[in-house]
Amino acid sequence: MADAAPDPATAAALRQLSDIAVPPAIRFVPQTWGWAVLSLVVLALLAAGLLLWRRRREANRYRREALVELQRIEGEMGDDAQRRAAVLALPPLVKRVALAAWPRERVASLSGTQWVEFLQHNSGTKPFPDFAARLFEDMEYRAGAGAQIDRDEATAFVAATRSWIEGHRVSA
């Protein structure tokens, strides 16, 4: 079938057609000063959040270091020959943590019942267990204390120590 010539009205209408009008490209720069202010506020909040996060991380560095030491001590608990020495290493570790978190004048002189009360008072959400408190009180200055601790008691003692290190709260 041959192409028929379009009628004159159709030809005139086709000649008047033009391309689609394309809008100008959208700019990614904000058009009003309000967006610039909002951007600055958001950047300031992000910077403040980052600064607070770094300060908190630095303030809690002693906790992370103590937990690494506790993990090393916990590794020694499996060996019956090293268990006693490992258990005896826990009270000094907790004392070092307390000295890092509180002023030396407040913590260094604590011993015996006062030390245990301090641990229980500052234990955070989980109370410091009574059996661990008794062990801390006994082992602090008595050489024979902790001699007959079995694996389960040692594991519970480590768990109580970990809980205190992770959860203690430092009042300002």
Convert the pLDDT of each residue in 74-88 to its tens digit: 888 877 778 888 888
Q: Where are the alpha helices (DSSP H) in the chain?
A: 8-15, 33-59, 61-76, 80-88, 90-101, 104-107, 112-121, 130-139, 151-167
Convert the pLDDT of each residue in 19-53 to its tens digit: 888 888 888 877 788 988 999 999 999 999 999 99
Question: pTM of the full predicted structure?
Answer: 0.69
Check residue 33 and give its pLDDT.
Answer: 87
Specify whether the CB–CB gap between 84 and 146 falls below 8 A. Answer: yes
